[in-house]
Structure 1
């Protein structure tokens, strides 16, 4: 693992509520500048009504009554209006939602940029902030696995999207007659001696090998594009702690990268 590059002063000293709505989990995080004060996570499927959102926000406001600003990063469009409405009603301060139309610290070259996921925007923003002079390979290993590549000059070069670990496990269970649904955890060996072990090891080691192979191919591509120096690799997402520890590549594990990237985009755009 590479050293954590955090060490700069905070962006500001004001409180900010950052909300990340993922396909599986929603995170409500209170920041004071760069300092993370509180993290509250709930299943995204439990946030279908304004009362659901209020139930999460109210305890945070009791703990931090001066909280008024918020930033939203969501990949579930159906929840965006209800979440933003609840934030505006309860907090009443400045609101920023992560979209491709924001002022970004990188240049997004992408067909139909409005389809570029908010989580990927936030991750690329943080990648650029952490490594402003380096090419970066940014991986989000969650419900889906996304790989995004930034050049050293801040140009978005492209990416890849693949199914995540749980999606692969669920597909094997749902599309076969006898294969069980297996939970993902660290394998104790390369090959398995039971059906469950074979599924788990196949998915996890297949993912690890696939990511290692992609990192190698992307590095070759960057050299062909005359990118000097070794690109940095940042890894985040719900399954990132499981996978990153098995990678041979030198990586930075930042489990809250999307939240921190959203925090950064707020500071860039709120004024």
Structure 2
């Protein structure tokens, strides 16, 4: 990889920022290949400046669902050809969402990416992160919307915060031995309710779309997708 980075250092590249609720990411693309990826709690102006000094970035795009620093956005706008993703950004699909201005940029980007990967087919994109987001694009490229439900850690936190004695768990405690439908302890019961409950939910949503739409493709992504 290091040799490849050196060889392509003098070629123009593209930079993508994804500022999410739990994790923020930025990736340098050379064509369709990611040559550098940063994933951390906060992507700072300093991080962006370091990337721009390392690579010859031709253009960048910022998709954010948080209130990021204006200085960060202004730097991108002033120094580079940067697209700030919004409901007004031209996209290759037709957005039929009745309130497009409220549609999360993460959902919009995921829907576009899913349809580009499976162009001409019905596609359900499932993004398992802070929330579990379901977004459906039909074979003709029309985005219809979807659903939002609590993500795994949000489910764990809700059980702890809205009860007096249930302990606070998180996804780091998930393992095959604990993943049982019938929990034999309070901890295992919480894991069953939160994680397997989410898994059964995902299966149910997929089944609904399979019964309704032909030739359905399902794309699963997000930080909690491995679980």
Q: TM class by shorter-chain length? A: 0.7 to 0.9
* Equivalent-residue separation in structure 2 for 1:82 and 1:167 (angstroms): 30
Q: Which residue of 2 aligns with 1:239?
A: 224
The alpha-carbon deviation at position 81 of structure 1 amounts to 2.8
Equivalent residues, number: 213
Q: Which residue of 2 aligns with 1:86?
A: 75
Q: Which residue of 2 aligns with 1:259?
A: none
Structure 2: 5+ residue stretches without partners: 1-10
* Equivalent-residue separation in structure 1 for 2:69 and 2:143 (angstroms): 26
1:221-248 per-residue CA deviation (whole Å, 9 max, x = no partner) reads: 32xxxxxx32000011110111xxxxxx
Matched-pair contact (CA < 8 Å) for 2:97–2:145: yes
* Equivalent-residue separation in structure 2 for 1:83 and 1:218 (angstroms): 40
Determine helix, strand or coil for the equivalent of 1:69: strand
Please say if 1:230 is aligned against 2:215: yes
Structure 1: 5+ residue stretches without partners: 1-12, 48-52, 223-228, 243-271
TM-score normalised by L of structure 1: 0.74
Matched-pair contact (CA < 8 Å) for 1:14–1:33: no
Please say if 1:156 is aligned against 2:143: yes
Determine helix, strand or coil for the equivalent of 1:72: strand
Q: Give structure 1 regions of 4+ aligned residues with deviation exceeding 3 angstroms.
A: none
* Equivalent-residue separation in structure 1 for 2:176 and 2:91 (angstroms): 39
Please say if 1:102 is aligned against 2:89: yes
Higher RCO (Cα < 8 Å, 6 or more apart): 1
* Equivalent-residue separation in structure 2 for 1:127 and 1:54 (angstroms): 29
TM-score normalised by L of structure 2: 0.88
- RMSD over aligned Cα atoms: 1.7
Q: Which residue of 2 aligns with 1:253?
A: none
The alpha-carbon deviation at position 79 of structure 1 amounts to 0.9
Matched-pair contact (CA < 8 Å) for 1:23–1:143: yes
Please say if 1:211 is aligned against 2:194: no
Determine helix, strand or coil for the equivalent of 1:193: coil
The alpha-carbon deviation at position 80 of structure 1 amounts to 5.9
Which of 114, 127, 130 is residue 127 of structure 1 equivalent to?
Answer: 114
